[in-house]
Amino acid sequence: MMKMNMIYHTAEEKRATGNKMCRLIAVADYKFYQTIAGNDIYDAANYIVGIIQKINLIYKPTNFGQGVGYGVELAMLKLHVGPTPTSGSTTHYNMIKSWTSPYNLLTEFSQGEKWNDYCLAHLFTHQSFSNNVLGLAYIASSSTSKLGGICSAASTKNGKAIYYNTGLTTTKYTGGGTVLAKQSQLVTAHGHNWGSEHDPTSGDCAPSSYFGGDGKYLMYPYSVTGEDPNNDVSISMVTLNI
């Protein structure tokens, strides 16, 4: 059986391709559409496009060991303007009932559609998870025997295909507050689908923002505010080892 890895990203908390641009399908559920976008299709699109632009501002200048220019292009945007009907024990990532577990939601999303037409599929939602988890993604590996991340192979369970080139971002804290757009951009920009682990919480890869320091890097385990220089324009050497 092929192995897979999964990475959580909290609020306190390599697979080779010939093309440098990863084709992404962004999916917004109805909770995101109604709350963050205010039931406005254009606002939903602008929010997500802004996130993609931010990701490319971080990724494209970064040398991942094979040159620069790697990034994400929005190939498709799918908006759910209302909940998907379910009955009995049937579930759907866009159902009216909220998911309490980000793992269960990502699992449902990963088998909800045929995502292997894209390099990555990412779900945007507005619901709170325990422990202030704001994002979750399968992590890529250079080994083809492991599932997860960009252009990952799929597997089959109970006759149903499961795709592991997936991730999700929520814009709602555990306590109910809304995540700032800048912070949501950085959560989505995390490089787990590209094969990056979190940085250590101490040492050179976790510089302080005090006394003139430049702050934590993008891949710090707890989401950064985007106010410090290192937050959104720098990636530590640990992150580059992917």
For the segment 78-121, what is each residue's pLDDT rounded down to a tens digit? 999 999 999 999 999 999 999 999 999 999 999 978 898 998 99
Q: Which fold has domain 3-240?
A: Collagenase (Catalytic Domain) (3.40.390)
Question: Is residue 138 a contact partner of residue 148, using CB atoms and an 8 Å limit?
Answer: yes
* Segment 195-237, tens digit of pLDDT: 455 554 545 555 555 545 555 555 555 555 555 544 454 454 3
Domain boundaries along the sequence of the chain:
3-240
170-180 pLDDT, tens digit per residue, is 999 888 999 88
Q: Is 108 helix (H, G, I), strand (E, B) or coil?
A: helix
21: number of Cβ within 10 Å: 16
Measured in whole angstroms, how far is the alpha carbon of residue 33 from the centre of its chain?
A: 17
Confidence band (pLDDT; 50, 70, 90) for 39?
very high
Smallest CA-to-CA distance from 11 within 225, 192, 194 is with: 225
- Considering the entire predicted model, what is its pTM? 0.75
Determine how many CB atoms are found less than 10 A away from the CB of residue 213. Answer: 12
pLDDT at residue 28, as a whole number: 96
